[in-house]
Amino acid sequence: MPTVGVKRDLLFNALGRTYTDEEFDELCFEFGLELDEITSEKEIISREQGDSKASGASDVILYKIDVPANRYDLLCLEGLVRGLQVFKNKLEAPRYTRVSPTTGEVQRLIITKETAAVRPHAVAAVLRNITFTKERYDSFIELQEKLHQNICRKRSLVAIGTHDLDTISGPFTYTARPPGDISFKPLNQTKEYTATQLMSLYKTDSHLRHYLHIIEDKPVYPIIYDSNGVVLSMPPIINGDHSKISLTTKNVFIECTATDLTKVRTEEDVMLSFLIFFSGFFCKELAYRKEKLSGEFINRKVGISEPTEKIAQLLTRMCLLSQPTGAGDEIEVEIPPTRPDVIHACDIMEDAAVAYGFNNIIRTTPRTYTVANQFPINKLTELLRQDLAAAGFTEALNFALCSQEDIADKLCKKISDTRAVHISNPKTAEFQVARTTLLPGLLKTVAANRKMPLPLKLFEISDVVLKDESKDVGARNSRRFCAVYYNKSPGFEVIHGLLDRTMQLLEVKPAREQGYHIQAADDSTFFPGRCAEIFVHGKSVGRLGVLHPDVIGRFELSMPCSALEMDIEPFL
């Protein structure tokens, strides 16, 4: 969820009144925003860099407001004020129109085929006859940064460049060239660099180095020129110094470049955000759309009974200009281009509910009659857990993800023998695979609790994940029961006794054919001659035994340990 920081007094000034913090919090809540923090620049610097750095910083009160991820139109002070004023019935929703420039030509951005290899999409717009104040300028720059960090996905998807149109002349060309062939004076530098030199220059830049990887390995780099060969920008890294905007800029040229056709909508959203900022000329058609729906539909879905006229008013307060058509309870709703999130009647219905006030809706109880069922494997698990605790064992709860080492090397097994599913993008080794056995988790729990009095008797009933080609996703969960006994002596008889008790609970008698029995088995996790396989009705369900000293050592334990692990799904 993006956060917008606005100066409180500027905000109140724009809203035409002041609020107490509580009142403003309440207003935000009703509108679907969250007043996240009340702070100041001084406080932020002091918190992040220490008091000494904060002296002299501004102590003007800042409101940090969380904006929902679909509302790019609220990402700046100007957009927020507009939305809230319309919501409070103090302003009519603005209507945006495309205007042609009064003087000069319509600007054009020409995209060449070379860009296909690196960053194939671009759109552009011009904002004309604007006046910056210091605050507006800062807000404009911040909006650009907010967009970069959020919908633009840290510039990997979309990059935005803004330029002083009066320093450059169209038509503009968006192309791509080998880095050695690109040379210009980048923003806030004093001399020209080639693109290759720039990449090494910015390697150490705390801000820009995060974006270098986006084009670094490409044979050609994207570049935008004006008709005189002046470089506007090298997206997504840096703009040229020549066309930089300032407080005195009157006309702004905005370009957006993007990597992926599926993300083109995002570019449009970016443009729309700027549009909210200043009304102005827009290269794309400003599409207002009309929808018709019935008042009854909204009443029925929300659970209210408002007259058609009132519903139209509610929607209008959400910047969706609406009126009854006169045909029954039909309402015509105009969806502005600033609300690309409205794509279905249900989105309109939500806005009506927000304007009505969620907390004004009467809470009702649906008459849905149903009989509850437990999921059988969960029911069995719940019942078994109770009785295993009653048998003196304590329940552990371990992660389903772990390292390859945990399920293989540390258990003296090969990873290729495990049927484990592998994660392609783990941030650390702890998330390399899904566990195929509960044993490592229990042994790690023992290791983390070595200071506790012995014996340690632990169990867990939970799922492991195994590859299984018969499933649509190629893997399935398997519900396991695992227990360990850790003491000065191995205590095989204790773990064996727990198996007997478990079988008693599951109504399986000790018998070779129509019951359960254990029989010697070889398993590298266990001490030779101290491992047995568990058979139920002739089928193997698991193993128990005394752990191999190598396993004990690899889990950083020092005492003998016996363990039991078995499937419980066969007992359903």
Partner 1 sequence: MDQHCNITKPRIPIMADAGSVEALLQLVEKADGGVDSLDVASRIGVDHQVIVGAVKSLQSLGDVISAEQRSSKHWELTEEGTELAEQGSHEARVFSSIPPEGLPQSELMKLSFGKIGFSKAMSNKWIRVDKSHEGGPRIFTSVESIQDQVREKLLLVQRGAALEEKDKNELKKRKLLAEVTVKSYWITRGSSFSTTLTKQETELTAEMIATGSWKDRKFKPYNFEAMGVAPDCGHLHPLMKVRTQFRQIFLEMGFSEMPTNNFIESSFWNFDSLFQPQQHPARDQHDTFFLSDPALAHDFPQDYLERVKRVHSEGGYGSQGYKYDWKMEEAQKNILRTHTTAVSARMLYKLAQQEKFTPVKYFSIDRVFRNETLDATHLAEFHQIEGVVADYGLTLGDLMGVLHQFFTKLGITKLRFKPAYNPYTEPSMEVFSYHEGLKKWVEVGNSGVFRPEMLLPMGLPEDVSVIAWGLSLERPTMIKYGINNIRELVGHKVNLQMVYDSPICRLDS
Helix axes 308-316, 345-356, angle to 10 degrees: 90
Gap between the Cα atoms of 563 and 476, Å rounded: 24
Return the residues of window 411-430 that contact partner 1 according to CB under 8 A.
Answer: 421-427, 430
CA-based nearest residue to 232, from 205, 202, 207, 255: 255
**Of 317, 444, 480, 548, which one interacts with partner 1 (CB under 8 A)?**
444
* Nearer to partner 1 (CB atom), residue 78 or residue 406: 406
Return the residues of window 230-249 that contact partner 1 according to CB under 8 A.
Answer: none
Asked if residue 472 binds partner 1 (CB under 8 A), the reply is yes
Q: Where are the alpha helices (DSSP H) in 109-171?
A: 134-149
* Inter-residue contact 446 to 456 (CB < 8 Å): yes
* Nearer to partner 1 (CB atom), residue 124 or residue 335: 335
Return the residues of window 318-347 that contact partner 1 according to CB under 8 A.
Answer: 341, 343-347
Asked if residue 358 binds partner 1 (CB under 8 A), the reply is yes
* Nearer to partner 1 (CB atom), residue 389 or residue 511: 389
First to last CA, the chain: 44
Gap between the Cα atoms of 569 and 466, Å rounded: 14
Q: Which stretch binds partner 1 (CB under 8 A): 11-19, 245-253, 351-359, 527-535?
A: 351-359
Beta bridge partners of 4: 65
Tokens for 310? 């009132």
Look-up: residue for tokens 């009142």?
Answer: 23
In the complex, least distance from residue 226 CB atom to partner 1, rounded to whole angstroms: 31
Return the residues of window 475-494 that contact partner 1 according to CB under 8 A.
Answer: 475-477, 479
* Nearer to partner 1 (CB atom), residue 356 or residue 527: 356
CA separation, residue 556 to residues 74, 432, 475, 564 (Å): 54, 21, 31, 19
**Of 9, 21, 181, 260, which one interacts with partner 1 (CB under 8 A)?**
260
Asked if residue 135 binds partner 1 (CB under 8 A), the reply is no
In the complex, least distance from residue 152 CB atom to partner 1, rounded to whole angstroms: 11
CA separation, residue 98 to residues 106, 127, 284, 313 (Å): 12, 11, 8, 26
Return the residues of window 286-315 that contact partner 1 according to CB under 8 A.
Answer: 300-304
* Nearer to partner 1 (CB atom), residue 109 or residue 342: 342
Return the residues of window 83-112 that contact partner 1 according to CB under 8 A.
Answer: none
* Nearer to partner 1 (CB atom), residue 469 or residue 513: 469
Return the residues of window 22-81 that contact partner 1 according to CB under 8 A.
Answer: 29-32, 34, 68-71
Asked if residue 391 binds partner 1 (CB under 8 A), the reply is yes
CA-based nearest residue to 95, from 337, 348, 345, 343: 337
**Of 371, 416, 513, 522, which one interacts with partner 1 (CB under 8 A)?**
371
* Inter-residue contact 256 to 124 (CB < 8 Å): yes
In the complex, least distance from residue 21 CB atom to partner 1, rounded to whole angstroms: 12
**Of 19, 96, 399, 535, which one interacts with partner 1 (CB under 8 A)?**
399
Q: Per-residue x/- marks for partner 1, 164-203, CB under 8 A?
A: ----------------------------------------
* Nearer to partner 1 (CB atom), residue 2 or residue 178: 2
Gap between the Cα atoms of 278 and 2, Å rounded: 21
**Of 363, 507, 509, 513, which one interacts with partner 1 (CB under 8 A)?**
363
CA separation, residue 306 to residues 300, 303, 352, 353, 555 (Å): 10, 10, 10, 11, 67
11, HSE (Cβ side, Cα atoms, 13 Å): 26
**Of 58, 374, 504, 558, which one interacts with partner 1 (CB under 8 A)?**
374
364, HSE (Cβ side, Cα atoms, 13 Å): 10
Tokens for 52? 């000494």
Q: What angle do CA 211, 212, 216 make, to 5 degrees?
A: 140
* Inter-residue contact 230 to 223 (CB < 8 Å): no
* Nearer to partner 1 (CB atom), residue 11 or residue 28: 28
Asked if residue 456 binds partner 1 (CB under 8 A), the reply is yes
* Nearer to partner 1 (CB atom), residue 220 or residue 293: 293
